[in-house]
Chains A and B, each alone.
Chain A
Amino acid sequence: MSSKMQASQAGQALWSKMPKANAELFALTYGSLVTELVRDYEDPIEVNAQLDRIGHSIGVRCVDELLSKADVAGMGLATQCQNLRDTAEVVAKVGFKMFLGVQAEVGGFSQDQRSFSIYLQDNPLATFVELPAAGDEQYNGDDLRKLKYSNLYCGVIRGALEQVNLKVECNIVRDTLKGDEVNEIRVELKEVLADGAGDDYKEE
């Protein structure tokens, strides 16, 4: 319990230190990015993949940002994340809070402790967003049901955890834009990567 408290306090402390951008501008910029992708790729599945890719690039940067600031908030991360539960707490309470200003909840751990869910009550990316209704011929509603509007999150989480040697797979399983009452991102740990010298080391 204490680690949970600590994580949310640290998240709060970091959030207060981050430079802020206007939330509406942020939501609208993301909206236009997604719209542009939809226009370019047409296939929503492909758009999801692109969003995931963009997110991945963001994630690999975010993690250094978080780690470099973590000590400011008085948490020694290296000793704190002993298991996936701790990691999940940090992602939800520190990561989401620090970069988006919203607090996420963690839950739904699987029996083997290798997967969990992150619940977002409100999603800053989806402000002002409405997906066309199913069966809406004019706006291609049926097709766009397959679009995962906030798939960026999946990429970010994947990229960030990859940098700390955790290979995960993320999926948006519930989405308020599609009428669910909460946004749920399912994160599944695939493997813990081993440290080791890579090809570059050998060739250099």
Chain B
Amino acid sequence: MTVHAIHIFDRKGKTLFTKRYTSSKQSSTQDAEQLSEQRKLIFGMLFSLRELVGSLTPGNGSPALKSVRTGAGTLHCFETISGLRIAMYTNNNPIMNTIGARAPGADNTKTSFQTALKYIYSDIWVECVVRSPLYRPEDIQVDPVEGKENKSGRFDIKSTNFESKLDAYLASMPWFR
């Protein structure tokens, strides 16, 4: 499995959507807490890095943060000026990282992670979530902690076909295995 997880945050750091593609060994309750803590850290890191990069960038260059890479994996991020942040955690993908794929002339625009995240935003998120008549940006129900009471009247992303479209799209990518 190349894609480990995908998270979507709003401007304020609230998780709008989260999904993991690799299973973990821990029990589910313990897991939920840990994951929520993890997301908090991810957002915090992206936020701080963005601030730092913004203050380092000279002139009118774009300070957009694209990915954070470690020995074990890469966190790809995409942010819009409306404040949405999409973060996708993958391993250091061999397809993307071979020299051949980056060689001049090689067409990697179709498979690059930035393009993929942009597609997720513009063709899946906007299409399925923003256009949903029930969508209210400030009032999105996130489900991560199971058993937590559902406040009625809140918009749940699970009620749209965002997730199924996202899965279908990711599965069609060469780096998703």
Chain B contacts for A78, CB-based, 8 A:
62, 64, 81
How many residues on the B side are at the interface (Cβ–Cβ under 8 A)? 30
Query: Quick check: is A69 within 8 A (CB to CB) of the other chain?
Result: yes
Q: Which residue of B lies closest to A65 (CB)?
A: B126
If A82-B60, A200-B14 touch, whether A163 touches B83 (CB-CB below 8 Å) is yes
In the complex, whether B175 has a CB less than 8 A from a CB of chain A is: no
Given the contacts A61-B130, A61-B135, A78-B62, A201 and B40 also touching, CB distance less than 8 Å = yes
Whole-angstrom CA separation of A68 from B82 in the bound complex: 10
Within residues 61 to 106 of chain A, which ones have a CB less than 8 A from any CB in chain B?
Answer: 61, 63-65, 67-69, 71, 76-79, 81-82
Cα–Cα distance between A65 and B130 once the two chains are bound (Å): 8
Those of B11-59 within 8 Å (CB) of chain A:
11-15, 36, 39-40, 43-44, 47
B108 CB-CB contact with A under 8 Å: no
Cβ-defined partner of B126 (8 Å) among A68, A76, A163, A199: A68
A93 CB, min distance to chain B CBs, angstroms: 17
Check B71 for interface membership: any CB of A closer than 8 A: no
Q: Flag whether B118 is at the interface (Cβ < 8 A).
A: yes
Interface string of A177-202 (1 = CB under 8 A from B): 00000000000000000011111110
Within 8 A of A (CB), among B87-121: 118, 121
Judging by beta carbons under 8 Å apart, are A204 and B15 in contact? yes
With A60-B137, A61-B135, A197-B47 known as contacts, the answer to whether A68 contacts B13 (CB < 8 A) is no
Interface status of A33 (Cβ within 8 A of chain B) = no
Is there a chain B Cβ closer than 8 Å to A164's Cβ? yes
A140 within 8 A of B: no
A33-76 Cβ-contact flags toward B at 8 Å (1 or 0): 00000000000000000000000010011011101110100001
Tell which of B81, B123, B131, B135 touches A77, judged by Cβ atoms closer than 8 Å.
Answer: B81
Does A165 count as interface, using CB distance less than 8 angstroms? Answer: yes
State the CA gap A129–B107 with chains docked (Å). 54
Q: How long is the Cα–Cα vector from A71 to B122 in the complex, in angstroms?
A: 10
A202→B174 CA distance, assembly (Å): 37
- The answer to whether A198 and B13 touch (CB under 8 A), given A78-B62, A78-B64, is yes
Known contacts being A163-B82, A204-B14, is A68 close to B47, with CB within 8 Å? no
- Residue ranges of A at the interface with B (Cβ–Cβ < 8 Å): 57, 60-61, 63-65, 67-69, 71, 76-79, 81-82, 163-165, 195-201, 204
List 7 A-B pairs, minimum CB-CB distance, nearest first. A198-B12, A201-B13, A68-B122, A200-B14, A163-B82, A68-B126, A197-B13
- 19 inter-chain pairs at a CB distance below 8 angstroms, sorted by A residue, are A64-B84, A65-B131, A68-B80, A68-B122, A71-B118, A78-B64, A79-B60, A79-B62, A81-B81, A163-B83, A164-B81, A165-B83, A195-B11, A195-B83, A197-B12, A197-B13, A197-B44, A199-B12, A201-B13
